Amino acid sequence: MRFRKLKKQSKQKHQQKNSSQKVKYANSIDKIKAFITDMFMIYAPILYFLAYVVMDGKDAFQNSQLAPFIGVTLYGLIYATLISKFGQTPGKKAYAIKVVDDKTHENISFLRALWRFLTFLFSATILLGLFTGIYRKDKKSLHDILSNTIEIEIEK
C-alpha cells in the first residue's frame, strides 16, 4: 500500500476517534470562579505563611520586594504540580473543569503546566490574552493557545 493511502487512513481513523469524543469546553464564568477559589485556597495561605511565619508581619512583607516574587513562585510550582498530576486544582475540581492537552485530551507534563502558568501571568498582565477566550469557539485564552491546552468540563 502506498504511503499516502496509509497516511490518509490513519488521519481518517484519528478524526473518527475525535468525533466520537464530544468535548464540552469550560465556560468563562466557571473558569473565573475556579481562579478565585484557587486564590483563596492556595495563594492566600502562601502569602499568610510568608508574611507571618517567615517574616515579621505585613509591614515587613509589604516592604520586601522578594516576598511577593517568592509567593508567586511557590503558587506557580504548586499549580503546575496539581495540573500535571490531576489535571485540576481545587478550584477547577469544584467547578468540574480539567486542563488537558488540546489534541489527545490527556494530562500535561509538569514543564508544560509550568509554561502554561508563566504564559497565564503574561496574559493577565496584558489583559487582552484573557479576553481571547470570549471570542473563540473553543474558548481558549492566550495561555491555552501558547501551551496547546484546553479547559474542558468533566462529569461530577
pLDDT in tens, 97-156: 999 998 888 999 999 999 999 999 999 898 888 788 888 888 889 999 999 999 999 987
Tally the domains of the chain.
1
Core vs surface per residue 61-79: b (16+ CB within 10 A) or e: beeeeebeeebeebbbebb
Sign of CA dihedral 49, 50, 52, 58: negative
Q: Tell me, yes or no, whether 17 lies in a domain.
A: no
Q: Is the pLDDT of residue 19 over 50?
A: no
Extract the runs of DSSP E, i.e. beta strands, from the chain: 97-101, 149-153
With H, G, I as helix, E, B as strand and everything else as coil, classify residue 100: strand
Residue 90 belongs to a domain: yes
Tell me the pTM. Answer: 0.81
Residue 1 lies in a domain: no
Question: Is the Cβ–Cβ distance between 152 and 97 less than 8 Å?
Answer: yes
> Domain of 62?
24-153
Query: Does the residue 94 lie in any domain?
Result: yes
DSSP structural state of residue 149? E
